[in-house]
Structure 1
Amino acid sequence: MPEFDPEEPIEAHTYAELAMELHDADGVEETVDAVLQFALKAVNCTHAGLALAVRGHRAEVGAVTDPVVEQMHQLQIDAGDGPLLTSLNDQVTIRIPDAPAETRWPEWAAKAEALGIGSVLDVPLAVSDQTVGVLSLYHSSRNAFGADDEAVAHILARHASIAVAAARHEETMAKAVDARKLVGQAMGILMMKYDVDDDRAFAILKRYSQDTNTKLRDVAQHVVDRRGLPD
């Protein structure tokens, strides 16, 4: 990712080009970190955070630039309510000019005031109508984010959405490949130990997985580690 000179503001027309550099990040963790570092410069916010969507329409803290953001995110995740989750679930941008005075989420507003947060901008990251996360920008001053800041955040969010989705897909595929290799190793062990063919070895693994409500990968891992099925 390009280095930014803090003394020289980035021209608006370069935001999309710079954001594309996010695609060069390796893995989800590196990608979300790159998103936040760019956001700090591009929008000139005090803090930033990125929450990721997980199964069951839930959210988890992906990365933060400051513990203050983690507290704000975790408060909303634990309560199941707040601007971040509204942005995530409804795919809407939420700009809050005066966080301590926000009446829709009183508990959240009180926490924002206690932590010295004045303004908040939550922008959903979506790919093909599926929300993959939310970019949250925070500033210690009230009325810190204007229409230009929101426009820039949307440009970054569009590119970040693709980058995060791609990184997640690559990690999922890598895990799937590793799992297939592990199952293959476990099958080989069972074939030798019990003198069965590959179809029978796989059937044994699958049946044990179903009967014990254990993931097939975990059963295979046990076979590889212990050279046999669990008791």
Structure 2
Amino acid sequence: MTLSPDAASFADLVLDLHETSSLDETVERIIEFACKMFDCAYAGVILVHPGSRVETVASNHEVVAHLDKIQLEAGAGPDIEIIADRPGVLVRDVRQEQRWPQWTAAVEAAGIRSMLGARLHTNRQVLGSLNLYALEVDRFDEVDVDVAHMLARHAAVALESARGTEHLRGAVDARNLIGQAQGILMERFNIGADQAFQVLRRYSQDNNLKLHSVAQRLIDTRSLPR
């Protein structure tokens, strides 16, 4: 049995996503593939950060971030609902959409006529939403809703993995910085590793700075915050 071009392309994307370790690269690949698969004008990815901070992390046009900002400021819009508790949103014609009037007015003003959004989530967490915009009415249909849902599920797993990898790398980098800073203090003051760590921690607490920030300051300037 031979796969259709679309099915083969989808399979290749899934493999590519799971082999990509960088969060930025993963997001860019998702947007690139989404625009190609759905033949839409614009696409963007919103991610939820720790502390419930929501951000448009990537898009193929600045208008996407502009429309997302309107939703976030108004506290109403398709992306807000997707992240909260909906698997997706389909807007066939912006001019006929009665929900979110502030957002729909901005969307129409940008020349966009239809929209499709899908929730990015795994069994463990909600990561954000994948959002597609078209200049034509009824660009997206129910089949596209299903395909977008499948894409979003694979994309969410890849994003979760990439985010975890970056956190791990960040932890390793921070540990290396602290180790270098300890070495500087040990050599300068002829103290042990534990004492050097206590000095860094005290400066961290007294100056309300992250421990790795204090270490970086010491490495860069050879001095600690006063």
Q: TM-score, normalised by structure 1?
A: 0.90
Which residue number in structure 2 is paired with residue 221 of structure 1?
216
Find the residue that maps to 1:11 and give its secondary structure.
helix
Identity of aligned residues (%): 41
How far apart in 2 are the matches of 1:118 and 1:32?
24
Which residue number in structure 2 is paired with residue 3 of structure 1?
none
Where does structure 1 differ by over 4 angstroms across 4 or more consecutive aligned residues? none
Which residue number in structure 2 is paired with residue 94 of structure 1?
89
Whether the 8 Å contact between 1:119 and 1:145 is mirrored in structure 2 is: yes
- Give the paired residue count: 223
Letter in 1 for 2:18: H
How far apart in 2 are the matches of 1:159 and 1:118?
27
The answer on 1:22 being equivalent to 2:7 is: no
Q: Which moved more, 1:131-140 or 1:73-82?
A: 73-82
How far apart in 2 are the matches of 1:26 and 1:74?
28
C-alpha deviation, 1:194, in angstroms: 2.1
C-alpha deviation, 1:206, in angstroms: 1.0
Which residue number in structure 2 is paired with residue 201 of structure 1?
196
In structure 2, stretches of 5+ residues that fail to align are none
Distance 1:120 1:208, change over 3 A: same
Letter in 1 for 2:72: I
C-alpha deviation, 1:11, in angstroms: 3.2
CA RMSD of aligned residues (A): 1.7
Find the residue that maps to 1:229 and give its secondary structure.
coil
Find the residue that maps to 1:121 and give its secondary structure.
strand
How far apart in 2 are the matches of 1:126 and 1:173?
21
Q: Deviations over 1:104-138 (max 9, x none)?
A: 21110100110011111110111224111210011
How far apart in 1 are the matches of 2:94 and 2:206?
52
In structure 1, stretches of 5+ residues that fail to align are 1-8
Q: TM-score, normalised by structure 2?
A: 0.91
